[in-house]
Amino acid sequence: MARNEDLLLLGEDIGILGGAFGVTEGLQEEFGGHRVYDMPISEAAIVGVAVGAALNGKTVMAEMQFIDFISCGFDQIVNMMATYHYRTAGEVNIPVVVRGPAGGYGGGALYHSQMNEAWFCHSPGLKVVCPSTPYDAKGLMKAALRDGNPVIFYEIKELYRLNSIAEELPEEDYTVPLGKAAIRRSGKDLTFVTYGNNVYHCLEAAEVLFKEHGIDAEVIDIRSLVPLDEETIYTSLGKTNRVVVVNEAPMTCGFAGEIVARITNNAFDLLDAPPLRVTRLDTPVPWAKPLESFVLPGVDKIVAAGLRVARF
């Protein structure tokens, strides 16, 4: 915000309260209420104002207090924000990042546990990002704000609470490019493709597979869903010839299925086993912790899928 005086923040309780998870704490005091706006409880209004401000030369970060309620702003995002560049023949850009906390594992039940990224991956004109580390969160956010196009930015609530990934970030300016995956663990026997908090579930599963079964798994963190770094995936498959795709959204029409489809379309000859998906079950997320764990991906499920693919 210090670098770009035209950057505005919009959202519910993002000012004095600093947001539901403290992400914007202190920013209204530092930059003023004219740049950090507390908005009414209307996601449609938040996104609509963001689009209007962008049309008038501003760059906007619009916060959804929980990503579940982004559906209330769906028309403004999909029919307005995503289409302006196309319907003006490239003359108008909409530099808006819509960000918000997402995902389960915290007992938030059906209204505060969704991963709905597939909705927006399916909407031409939008870019979709989901970081797994503090370094990437900062770098990808800067890249998204400077991209000039609308970006949906998923921040996983489980990672807010994961103290083990805390790190000191560089003070100097840096970005992490959209559309570039990261290899979090190298391996030769199978490939896990994932993003967000499931990067850590896959890393834990990979250690179990190696220590207990001698199976050496590679873990790819795609970081950016749209655009997707397919080349890194195919390069890994050229080495391992087996793949498991893991994400937290429901299986039916989820982004894991899109990744599998691209692999089978573009790299089928690299496969020695059918690709597998580990996802949430096709059901709302329950409140009770045992039931939540039952429907969401977990290390045991990922290990089982890895064994099945490796032994095919």
Calpha distance 37→297 (Å, rounded): 37
Any idea what DSSP says for residue 79? I
Any idea what DSSP says for residue 285? P
Could you tell me how many residues make up the chain?
312
The b/e string for 265-294 (b: 16+ C-beta within 10 A; e otherwise) is eebeebbebebbbbbbeeeebbeeeeebee
Q: State the angle between helix axes of 198-213 and 299-310 in degrees (0 to 180), rounded to the nearest 10.
A: 50
Residue type (1 letter), 17: L
Active-site hit among 112, 122, 201, 213: 112
Residue for token pair 């991963």: 115
The b/e string for 28-44 (b: 16+ C-beta within 10 A; e otherwise) is beebeeebbbebeeebe
Pairing of strands 151-156, 127-129: parallel
Calpha distance 106→209 (Å, rounded): 26
Closest CA to 126 of 178, 91, 89: 178
| Residue 182 neighbours by CB under 8 Å, 6+ apart | 136, 220, 221, 223
Annotation marks residue 112 as catalytic: yes
Q: What are the C-alpha distances in Å from 71 to residues 41, 47, 122, 275, 285? A: 13, 11, 14, 31, 17
Beta bridge partners of 185: 219
Write out the catalytic residue numbers: 112
